[in-house]
Chain A
Amino acid sequence: MKVLVVDDSRVARTIIRAVILDKHPDWSVQEAANAEDALALASREDFDIFSIDINMPGVDGFTLVEQLRARGAQGRMALFSANVQEPVRQRAASLGVAFIAKPVTPISVTALLAAVGYESP
């Protein structure tokens, strides 16, 4: 399984990656600090799971979801954000992607994997 973690926080990316690899040592987890880097990585290889932050400098997570889909990305996507307002959750739902509330912890990362169908909740 190949995972792409997109978040401008290095700490957030590192924890998400560590939790996933702890549960699934045979998975591959790559990181991108912004949407531009994520699009570049996704153009070179296919990912099964995308974990995407919303509030990032430059292109935000919602727009990145649309851009990835427009470029044919087939992986399951989840938005992983501290912006826990109801309208934000609704926009995630309208895009058909899971919404997981930060902080990034082993519990919330497990919830993310469950939301995209790769872990028992």
Chain B
Amino acid sequence: MKDWSELELDALAEAFNVGVGSAAAVLSRMVGSEVVLSVPELKVVDKAAALESFGVAGSDRVCAVVQPYGGAFESRALLMFTEAKSYDLVRAVVPAHMAGMQMGDMAQDALTEVGNLVLDACLTAVGDLLACALTTRVPYLVKGEAAEVMAQMEGREMMLLHMLFAIADRNIDGYVGFLLDQQAMEALKQAVARFLNAHL
């Protein structure tokens, strides 16, 4: 990532900005109220440093929806919340009479569905803008201690997008990560270069 120019990083951040905006619109329709968005912050870190960037301790309990995708390059997207905030998110999107449920099968399904919709919207928007088709596959939920969850992920570098959701008077922090190996990172860089050549 060191060899990315400022303009390339700006273009990539803008692509993710469009993706997050699209994802927020999906989430807003699910929860029935506005999702207040922060300015997305994009950075690339070694996977080992990702938790520190998330502000999560290795021993913290987390839930993560993992979204494998392919097309222009093979990779995985990740939407991760602390366990407590994942409960808040599920309660925000499920009917009130189910609000007392714990993280049982139903709640896990709901969280996976939210993750699928958010990550799919984000990936689709990024793929459309950069003209590199990205096809999502079946998502799955992993939970446990943060360090264990990260250890299960493939790839060395991780592109992190920190997005803040504020839903219906709740502050629900969500973190979006894209796990990229060297080949995937190079393919993404080429897509950004093509985008800039076509538009500037």
Which residues from chain A sit less than 8 Å from chain B, CB to CB?
8-12, 14-15, 18, 55-57, 81-88, 102-104
Contact = CB atoms under 8 A, between A and B. Distances in A.
Nearest to B40: A55
Q: How large is the interface on B (under 10, 10 to 19, 20 to 34, 35 or more residues)?
A: 20 to 34
Contacts of B39: 8, 55-57
A14 B200 contact: yes
Contacts of A103: 14-15, 18, 125, 128-129
A89 to B, nearest CB: 10
Of B10, B13, B21, B200, which is in contact with the most chain A CB atoms at under 10 Å from its CB?
B21
B25 A85 contact: yes
A82 B28 contact: no
Interface in B1-55: 6-7, 10-11, 13-15, 17-22, 24-25, 28-29, 33-35, 37-40
30 contacts: A9-B10, A10-B6, A10-B7, A11-B7, A11-B10, A11-B199, A14-B200, A18-B200, A55-B17, A55-B21, A55-B39, A56-B39, A57-B39, A81-B21, A82-B20, A82-B22, A83-B24, A83-B25, A83-B37, A84-B24, A84-B25, A85-B21, A85-B25, A86-B28, A87-B28, A88-B34, A102-B21, A103-B15, A103-B125, A103-B128
B193 to A, nearest CB: 12
